[in-house]
């Protein structure tokens, strides 16, 4: 199948914005050691690039979450498929998420990780689709606000496809 992908945010723009986020995070976490919690699978590309522009001591943890079925609409059910490898009590946690859509996933993760008594708990999301908000969640660091379109690329998938595209795009009906 050869669907056409219309570019929404090109690779250069993504990298430029991530550099800005990294600089802000570096400033805000002065004197701290942070833990990046990469929300799998969609955030693996974003986390890899973000980690490299944060000039602070950090470690990376992975949290497996499933919130979507095979289609493009939210089931509203958030399932943990892989937990963190270590306790996070007393640590400065930054959740790294590809996109905040309904907000259900981040709301669930904030509640779950909050019970583990971290010193701080913040959210960094590359994309936000405010038109689809079902629960308001705090986004401490945000890359881009986008319109209500299903996007792929830069880690984001459509039934597991297109994660390897360097840009964020929209699948055009063929």
Q: Is 68 in the site for ligand IMP (CB under 6 A)?
A: yes
Q: Where do runs of H (alpha helix) occur along 29-169?
A: 44-51, 104-114
Distance, CA of 93 to CA of 43 (rounded, Å)? 15
Where are the extended beta strands (E) located within 25-68?
34-40, 58-68
Nearer to ligand IMP, 12 or 150 (CB): 150
| Interaction between residue 156 and ligand IMP (CB under 6 A) | yes
143 binds ligand IMP (CB under 6 A): no
Candidate residues 46, 101, 121, 126; the one interacting with ligand IMP per rule CB under 6 A: 101
Q: Does 121 bind ligand IMP (CB under 6 A)?
A: no
Active-site option among 101, 140, 148, 157: 101
Q: Is 98 noted as a catalytic residue in this protein?
A: no
Using the CB atoms, write b or e for 8-28: b if 16+ within 10 Å.
bbeeeebeeebeebbeebeeb
Active site residues: 101
Q: Which residues bind ligand IMP (CB under 6 A)?
A: 42, 67-68, 74, 97-105, 150-152, 156
């Amino acid at each position: 199948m050869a669907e056409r992908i219309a570019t929404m945010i090109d690779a250069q723009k993504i990298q430029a914005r991530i550099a800005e986020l990294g600089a802000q995070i570096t400033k805000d976490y002065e004197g701290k050691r942070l833990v990046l919690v990469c929300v799998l699978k969609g955030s693996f590309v974003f986390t890899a690039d973000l980690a490299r522009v944060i000039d602070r001591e950090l470690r990376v943890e992975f949290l497996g979450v499933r919130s979507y079925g095979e289609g493009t609409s939210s089931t509203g059910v958030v399932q943990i498929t892989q937990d963190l490898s270590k306790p996070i009590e007393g640590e400065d946690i930054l959740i790294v998420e590809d996109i905040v859509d309904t907000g259900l996933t981040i709301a669930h993760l904030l509640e779950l990780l909050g019970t583990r008594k971290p010193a701080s708990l913040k959210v960094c999301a590359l994309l936000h689709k405010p038109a689809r908000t079902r629960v308001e969640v705090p986004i401490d660091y945000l890359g881009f606000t986008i319109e209500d379109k299903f996007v792929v690329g830069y880690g984001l998938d459509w039934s597991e496809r297109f994660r390897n595209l360097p840009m964020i795009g929209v699948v055009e009906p063929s």
